[in-house]
């Protein structure tokens, strides 16, 4: 009893005992909460490891599929454009001038028609610059600039004839399609072509691929949620020429993109 006596006396010993009687259960409850939190963290880490493994497997399969598609595109051996198209490409200094030159060639132009509103968007992405809106350099272009994930498939918006499919200036590969009503669709910024000039294409048919690269697993994990699905965006420029000049492409496409 003497050893258990508080130095300040019996009253202080009683007070210390009361404090410990309340403190010990509280510490035990906190320890139990920490143990439960630790178990949740361990479970989350295990799920994260499984998710990363699944993501790595999916990315590897995607890379293999893209390589196979790229090989198939390369195996088609795109033909050189007709001489008239080549001459138009050499003489034109802008995409609008190229489209205007192609429209003047035989087969260019056609029936007057209002915007159809049922074309497919060539890529699934978002509009970065609208019709005649200033782009990053301040230039106002008579078309739309779309942002899409790297290596996106570029598809034909409608049934059309390929009037031009070749590199053009700094735009990479450019495809100019002539729809059934004579409307010209200019698509600029492709990294690979799957069609050649003079070939007919159906609505939704593959025209080529955008550039870029697949993200690594670590990049997907570290990127913010808003960017993890796409990474750095590639761009595709769309210009529509109808009735003698460029028009707003937006009304020609079905619904909102993205």
Q: What is the pLDDT of residue 111?
A: 42
Distance CA 170, CA 159 (A): 27
Cβ contact 234:149 at 8 Å: yes
Answer yes or no: is pLDDT of 101 > 90: no
- Alpha carbons 116 and 2: distance in angstroms, whole number: 99
Q: Where are the beta strands (DSSP E) in the chain?
A: 126-129, 144-148, 153-155, 160-167, 173-179, 184-190, 192-193, 200-201, 206-209, 234-242, 245-247
**Cα 51 to Cα 43: distance, rounded to the nearest angstrom:** 12
Q: Do 242 and 109 form a contact (C-beta atoms < 8 A)?
A: no
CA distance 201 to 79: 15
The three-class DSSP label of residue 66 is: helix
Q: Which of 31-35, 108-112, 194-198 is the most confident on average?
A: 31-35
Q: What percent of the chain has pLDDT over 70?
A: 73
> For 80-252, CATH number?
2.70.70.10
Q: Six-digit token pair at 254?
A: 């079905």
Per DSSP, the chain holds a count of helices (H) and strands (E) of 5, 11
Q: Which residues pair with 44 in a beta bridge?
A: none
Beta bridge partners of 177: 162, 185
Q: Average pLDDT for residues 226-230, to the nearest whole number?
A: 46
On whether the pTM is more than 0.85, the answer is no
State the average pLDDT over residues 61-68: 72
pLDDT band at 222 (very low <50, low <70, confident <90, very high): low
- DSSP letter for 2, please: T
Distance CA 150, CA 40 (A): 36
**Residues with Cβ < 8 Å from 35, sequence gap 6 or more?**
none
Tokens of 148: 């899409």
Average pLDDT over residues 120-148: 85
Residue 26 sits at the vertex; the CA angle it makes with 21 and 30, to the nearest 5 degrees, is 155
Inter-axis angle of helices 95-104 and 83-91, to 10 degrees?
140
Q: What is the mean pLDDT of the chain?
A: 79
Q: Max Cα separation, the chain?
A: 115
């Amino acid at each position: 009893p003497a050893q258990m006596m508080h130095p300040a006396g019996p009253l202080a010993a009683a007070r210390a005992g009361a404090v410990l009687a309340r403190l010990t259960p509280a510490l035990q409850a906190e320890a139990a909460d920490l143990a439960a939190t630790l178990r949740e963290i361990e479970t989350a880490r295990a799920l994260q490891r499984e998710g990363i493994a699944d993501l790595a497997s999916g990315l590897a399969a995607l890379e293999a599929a893209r390589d196979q598609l790229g090989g198939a595109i390369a195996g088609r051996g795109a033909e050189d454009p007709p001489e008239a198209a080549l001459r138009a490409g050499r003489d034109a200094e802008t995409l609008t001038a190229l489209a205007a030159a192609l429209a003047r060639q035989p087969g260019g132009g056609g029936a007057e028609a209002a915007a159809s509103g049922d074309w497919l968007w060539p890529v699934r992405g978002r509009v970065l610059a609208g019709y005649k809106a200033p782009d990053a350099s301040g230039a106002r272009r008579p078309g739309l600039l779309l942002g899409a994930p790297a290596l996106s498939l570029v598809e034909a918006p409608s049934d059309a004839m390929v009037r031009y499919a070749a590199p053009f200036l700094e735009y990479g590969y450019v495809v100019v399609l002539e729809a059934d009503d004579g409307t010209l669709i200019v698509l600029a910024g492709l990294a690979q072509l799957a069609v050649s000039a003079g070939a007919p294409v159906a609505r939704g048919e593959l025209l080529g691929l955008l550039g870029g690269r697949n993200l690594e697993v670590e990049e997907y994990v570290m990127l913010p949620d808003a960017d993890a699905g796409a990474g750095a965006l590639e761009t595709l420029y769309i210009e529509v020429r109808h009735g003698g000049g460029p028009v707003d492409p937006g009304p020609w496409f079905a619904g909102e993109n993205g």
